[in-house]
Structure 1
Amino acid sequence: MLGAFNQLGCSDPEGWVRSEIEEGIPQLARYRFLRTLWLQIIDNWHDGPANIPAARRALEAGASQGDLTQLARAVAYETVFAMLYHLDADEEATDQLPSWALAEITPTGEATRRHLDALHEDLLTLDPSGREGQDLWS
């Protein structure tokens, strides 16, 4: 497990492994999932939102590419955070309605029965830049 965290570029692999072992939290699955959200959703906007008509109009009107990119990344972050929070906050759950959970599976697709809870709490700490999202708000 330590090797997997190192391979993924984790800055504190020992801490994540210790937490998984001592607390029984599926930290490797959590780390992989959150890291993927940063790389594929939040930071995917580094090339800019030029394919969005409203963004093109803003650029033509004098907005800077950097500001639009920062705006797109901030909106992506807020959307991801809200979705992660919503995964844990099923306010309409009742005995009659199904709910949801994000769960860890093995490499062969078998359920481990361990849920990935409170992901929103670790989202900022997995910013690949190491800045914990500070560049989104400056």
Structure 2
Amino acid sequence: MADSLDVSRRAAADSLRAQLSALGVTDPADLVKSEVMEDVPQLARFVLLRSLWHGAIDGWTGPGSLEQLPAAQRLPAAGADREDLVRLARAAAYEAVFATLDELDAGGDANVMGVEAGWVVTSPPAPSLTRVPRAPRSKHSVLRATSIRASGRDAIP
């Protein structure tokens, strides 16, 4: 692929390869080709998935992660194994993350007609790749507030 690229695309491919390799991707060639030749933001997708994996999925393995939920406090007291509960929470988070990623890939809700709204995962131009640090927050505070508003239901105890 590199031989058939013009100078700017070759530089972009080399930069992508280096970034993906630095993130631990062992064979980034297909991702680089897809981003450079097909304009699919593979680096952004990888970074998003990695962030979701570490926070939403693996976040359940940390000390106190389950214990912050009242229902998860009651289950071990009733004899449930904590490791089984962690596996359950991670599996539910995995399904939610990948359902969300599928929706992002779809770019819009196919079940809604007459609404001109959608979404896209994209990368900012290279010069503005600066990360703004976020203030620490509870794992579920934003999600809980958003889901309550969206559903009109009470919080899950």
The normalised TM-score by structure 2 is 0.61
Q: Aligned pair 1:46/2:64, yes or no?
A: no
Q: 2:152: which partner in 1?
A: none
- State the distance in 1 between where 2:101 and 2:30 align: 22
Structure number with higher strand proportion: 1
1:3-38 C-alpha deviation (Å, 9 max, x unpaired): 110111112222211222232211111111111111
Which runs of 5 or more residues in structure 1 are unaligned? 110-138
CA shift in 2, pair 1:33/1:67, >3 Å = same
Work out the CA distance in 2 between the residues paired with 1:11 and 1:46. 25
- Name the stretch that deviates more: 76-85 or 52-61: 76-85
Q: Which amino acid aligns with 1:50?
A: E
CA gap 1:4/1:66 in 2 versus in 1, 3 angstroms: same
Query: Normalized against structure 1, the TM-score is what?
Result: 0.69
- The one of the two structures with greater contact order (alpha-carbon pairs below 8 A, sep at least 6) is 1
Which sections of structure 2, spanning at least 5 residues, go unmatched?
A: 1-15, 130-157
Return structure 1 stretches of 4+ with deviation > 6 angstroms: none
Distance 1:45 1:85 in 2: 22
User: 1:9 is matched with which residue?
Assistant: 24
Is 1:37 aligned to residue 57 of structure 2? no
Q: Which secondary structure does the structure 2 equivalent of 1:17 belong to?
A: helix
Distance, in Å, in 1 between the alignment partners of 2:66 and 2:125 is: 36
Tell me which structure has the larger Cα radius of gyration. 2
Which deviates more from structure 2 when the two are superposed, residues 46-55 or residues 69-78? 46-55
d(CA) in 1 for partners of 2:102 and 2:67? Answer: 29
- How far apart are the structure 2 equivalents of 1:46 and 1:77? 13
| C-alpha separation in 1, matches of 2:113 and 2:53 | 29
The C-alpha deviation readout for 1:47-87, integer Å capped at 9, x for no partner, is 24121111111011111111000000011111112222333
